[in-house]
Structure 1
Amino acid sequence: MRLIDEQTLQALEGSRPADTITAWAWRAGSLVVPEPLQIIDWSAQDAAGDSVNVGQQLSFTVADPDGTLGAWRLDDPLGVAGTELRVIYNVGGAGAVNYGKFRVTGNEPFEVTTSYVVDEYGYIEPDGDLPPHKRRKYVTKAYVKLDVVDLTGRANLDKLEAPQSPAGGSTAISEFRRLTQRHFPVVVDPGVVDAPVSTLLVFDKGERMNHCQDLASRLGARYRMGGDGECHIYPRNTDPVWTIEPGKSLVKVSRKQSSDGLYNRWVVEGKDAGDGGAPIRGTASITSGPLRYDGPHGRVQFFYSSEMITNQSDADAYARKLRDEFLQSLAVELSIETIPWPQGQAGDRVVVGCPVQAGHIAYFTGEVTSIRRGGNPVPDGTSLKVQCSLAEVLEGMSRTDWAQHLTGEIPELTWDRMPGTWGSLPDMPWNTIGRS
């Protein structure tokens, strides 16, 4: 989560003047546009996950009153050869949140021409459709669309030119810092425990942030950029940073299901090292519950093969491992609209209060996997995707044990801890809560 002072945090949930966005353009440590950009509209996207390394992306439409911001040369003020934007979110009536530093990756100028009719005594428009004493005037306004990405995009452009290996005594964090030292400082958040890496590890040539992601994964962590252009290595499982309450910060919540990726049988293939390379095949299935193999859900197989599987027991064990990891990863994705939340980042954990039947609220803890923001130019609300463990959701709704759910048993309900704690629903119109 980005840094925010207590006064500004309290202002976010109260009545206040309109928020604003400020963006300054820099290159090589100096301002290239003397005033903040005149932002017409903007949008921002952020995502988190073990396979995400694109970073935070923003798009701006900015006014170009004198026609100097639409780039011709690569080193023009908003050209793509090194210009950076420093973006600040200003909370109306309170302080500001440093949103981040971003590299300009696209500059697209365009013009909009409008016309209006004015009175001008004695003027007759030649060959025109206007009556006498009327003149048509034209006004052309120029705008520039900018695409920007956080500083991990710059690091990815700086590819490894040849394979590299860690020096003796290196750790995952020291290697992360070494790979990114030319691009940004690295901050290690509380809860991340460093570990040594082998000198036999090889970083192939290519995008360095892929290797950084692998290093963070070894520590049960991920990385993301902070508000001052620093890169944070943060743990995946953290305490929630925000409770999204109906009637306060929650505007709308909905959910949906998809059958894509709902496997119920895992088939692992290898070659027997002791039998002349004879094929080996191990399987594991879900045998009970709504996803049981050959039940109403049908047969949905996942195939995996590896030369590392060299005997039958390894094949069987790995098939069971894949099945168990799948069951643990099952999640309910909530689509949430909230009040502005400028300090929040993908990867944060939040508690969501979901209105349910009978006028109650069930509280579920989940990870923010994506964030969308925007404004024209005043920032509006925040759109979140939050993944909540299916086991915890079912526990909170009607069951207390996922394993029992798989067998079709419904135990006695208990409501003694979060998530699954019930609260009373505040007085509010039901039509303000989207449910699907």
Structure 2
Amino acid sequence: MRLIDELSLDALEGSRPADSLTVWAWRGDSLVVAEPLEVIDWSFSDIAAENRKVAQEVSLTVADPDGTLGAWRLDDPLAVTGARLQIIYRVGGAGAVNYGMYRLTSNEPDEVTEFRVIDEYGYVEPDGPLEPHKRWKSVTRSVVKLEAVDLTVEPDRDRFEAPESPKMGATVLSEVKRLLNPYFPVVVDPGVPDIGVSRQLVFDRERLEAVQDLLGRVSARYRMGGDGECHLYPRATNPVWRVGPSEGLVRVQRKQSFDGLYNRWVVEGKEEGSGNPVRSSVSIDSGPLKYGGPHGRVPFFYSSEMITSTAAAVLYAIELRAQFIASLALELSVECVPRPELQAGDRIEVGCPFDGRLAWIPGEITSIKRAGTTVPGSTSLTVACAYGDVIAALERTDWAKHLTGELPPLTWDRMPSTWGAGPSMSWDDLP
């Protein structure tokens, strides 16, 4: 979540003057346009970094009354050869939220030229249609469409020229800092663990993919902050905001799809020594996903020469089934009032009507879309909710206690038709 002051948080909860954007254009340490750009309309998208390497994208349309912002040359002020946009979201009647620094990737002017007759004493156009002391003057009205992305595009474009490996004694966090510090400061948020990495590890070509792989070993991610810094943050965090019918929620919708809903896992390999094929499988044997039940037969196949015995095949099939059940997710589409501080990767609670009451379901924001003209529109969120958390909210129970045996286990037969999944958490504050 971006930093925001208490006054702005209070203002976001109620009526206020119109919000606005302030956008400065830089190249290196110098402003290339003396005044902030005049923004006509804008849109932002933000996707969790594990789903897209460069997570944040910005589209702006800015006024260009004197026709100087549309780029011709590669050294023009808003040329794509290094110009950066500093974007600040100003909360009407309160403070401001730094959105961050963005690398300009596209400059597209849209110009309309009109010709007008003006007075000019002494001017005569020979054989022209105008009377003496009149002439034509062209007037150009222009806007410029700008596209920009967050600064992780810099290490993403700077790929390794040759394979690299970690130094002696390197850790996940030291390696991530080594790979990213040439481009921006790296901040490690609370809760991110650190472990050693082997010198046998090889980084080949893609720098940002190497960062993603390293952080995956400690269940962490990266995202750009409001001041041009890169934050390393843990996947599992506490909710940072609650949105419901009386707390900024405009609309919430959900969707189910049967794509990827497997119910049997088949693992194949070759027996060590003889090379004979080995094969084993496990299924879901009860509930709505029962193999051979109304859902049908939907096998998932895995083959590897690392599987060298029937016992190994059985164990890995069981592990694949467990990973699948843990990954089940319900996706909520949430439309809410403008919330400039939220980022993809934040966890929130969404109040959903269910059985005559409000069920508070926690989930992780996987994408955000914002748009506006001179007045910001609503914020659209995609929120992935853990299946266990959905069950806990709908049944007013603590899913974790069922898993640990403190409460009787929940079976597939008790799963409602509306469901999803992801990491689980405790719900001691549920009504």
Task: Report the TM-score range of the alignment, normalised by the length of the smaller protein.
Answer: 0.7 to 0.9
Match of 1:374 in 2: 371
Q: Which amino acid aligns with 1:319?
A: A
Contact residue 252 and residue 338 of structure 1 kept, 8 A = yes
Which structure 2 residues correspond to residues 142-153 of structure 1 after superposition, within 5 A? 142-153=142-153
SS at match of 2:376: coil
CA offsets 1:64-111 (integer angstroms, 9 cap, x no match): 111111111122111111110010000011110000110001111112
For structure 1, the residue ranges without an aligned partner over 5 or more in a row are 117-136, 412-416, 423-436
Identity between Structure 1 and Structure 2 (%)? 58
Superposed displacement of residue 362, structure 1 = 0.6
Contact residue 392 and residue 419 of structure 1 kept, 8 A = no
CA offsets 1:243-272 (integer angstroms, 9 cap, x no match): 112122111111111111111111222222
Which structure 2 residues correspond to residues 362-401 of structure 1 after superposition, within 5 A? 362-398=359-395, 400=397
CA distance in 2, matches of 1:364, 1:199: 43
Q: Which amino acid aligns with 1:64?
A: D
CA 28–49 in structure 1, closer or farther in 2 if over 3 Å, else same? closer
Q: Which amino acid aligns with 1:195?
A: I
Match of 1:20 in 2: 20
TM-score of the aligned structures, taking structure 2 as reference length: 0.87
Which structure 2 residues correspond to residues 253-332 of structure 1 after superposition, within 5 A? 253-275=252-274, 277-332=275-330
Match of 1:73 in 2: 73
Match of 1:94 in 2: 94
CA 114–245 in structure 1, closer or farther in 2 if over 3 Å, else same? farther
CA 410–99 in structure 1, closer or farther in 2 if over 3 Å, else same? closer
SS at match of 2:350: strand
Match of 1:8 in 2: 8
CA offsets 1:114-159 (integer angstroms, 9 cap, x no match): 899xxxxxxxxxxxxxxxxxxxx99642111111000001111111
CA 43–409 in structure 1, closer or farther in 2 if over 3 Å, else same? closer
CA 83–310 in structure 1, closer or farther in 2 if over 3 Å, else same? same
Q: Which amino acid aligns with 2:242?
A: T
Match of 1:430 in 2: none
CA distance in 2, matches of 1:396, 1:329: 18
CA distance in 1, matches of 2:394, 2:113: 56
CA offsets 1:146-191 (integer angstroms, 9 cap, x no match): 1100000111111111100001010111100111121111000000
Q: Which amino acid aligns with 1:349?
A: R
The reply on whether 1:222 has 2:221 as its aligned counterpart is yes
Q: Which amino acid aligns with 1:327?
A: I
Superposed displacement of residue 392, structure 1 = 2.0
CA distance in 2, matches of 1:240, 1:409: 27
Contact residue 392 and residue 427 of structure 2 kept, 8 A = no
Contact residue 242 and residue 348 of structure 2 kept, 8 A = yes
Superposed displacement of residue 406, structure 1 = 3.9
Contact residue 273 and residue 310 of structure 1 kept, 8 A = yes
Counting matched residue pairs gives: 396
Superposed displacement of residue 409, structure 1 = 4.5
TM-score of the aligned structures, taking structure 1 as reference length: 0.86
Match of 1:427 in 2: none
SS at match of 2:388: helix
Which structure 2 residues correspond to residues 87-166 of structure 1 after superposition, within 5 A? 87-112=87-112, 140-166=140-166
Superposed displacement of residue 6, structure 1 = 1.1
CA 6–36 in structure 1, closer or farther in 2 if over 3 Å, else same? same
CA 21–296 in structure 1, closer or farther in 2 if over 3 Å, else same? same
Superposed displacement of residue 302, structure 1 = 1.5
CA distance in 2, matches of 1:146, 1:9: 29
CA 420–304 in structure 1, closer or farther in 2 if over 3 Å, else same? farther
SS at match of 1:408: helix
Q: Which moves more between the two structures, 69-78 or 166-175?
A: 69-78
Contact residue 62 and residue 144 of structure 2 kept, 8 A = yes
CA distance in 1, matches of 2:321, 2:83: 48
CA distance in 2, matches of 1:244, 1:215: 33
SS at match of 2:413: coil
Q: Which moves more between the two structures, 194-203 or 42-51?
A: 42-51
CA distance in 1, matches of 2:110, 2:28: 27
CA distance in 2, matches of 1:392, 1:91: 33
Superposed displacement of residue 419, structure 1 = 7.8
Match of 1:408 in 2: 413
Q: Which amino acid aligns with 2:33?
A: V
Match of 1:426 in 2: none
Match of 2:134 in 1: none
Contact residue 365 and residue 419 of structure 1 kept, 8 A = no
Superposed displacement of residue 331, structure 1 = 1.2
CA offsets 1:371-425 (integer angstroms, 9 cap, x no match): 00010132221100111112221232247458855441589xxxxx738934xxx
For structure 2, the residue ranges without an aligned partner over 5 or more in a row are 117-136, 404-408, 417-425
Contact residue 67 and residue 140 of structure 2 kept, 8 A = no
Which structure 2 residues correspond to residues 191-210 of structure 1 after superposition, within 5 A? 191-205=191-205, 207-210=206-209
Match of 2:186 in 1: 186
Superposed displacement of residue 49, structure 1 = 5.2
Q: Which amino acid aligns with 1:87?
A: I
CA distance in 2, matches of 1:399, 1:285: 29
Q: Which amino acid aligns with 2:304?
A: S
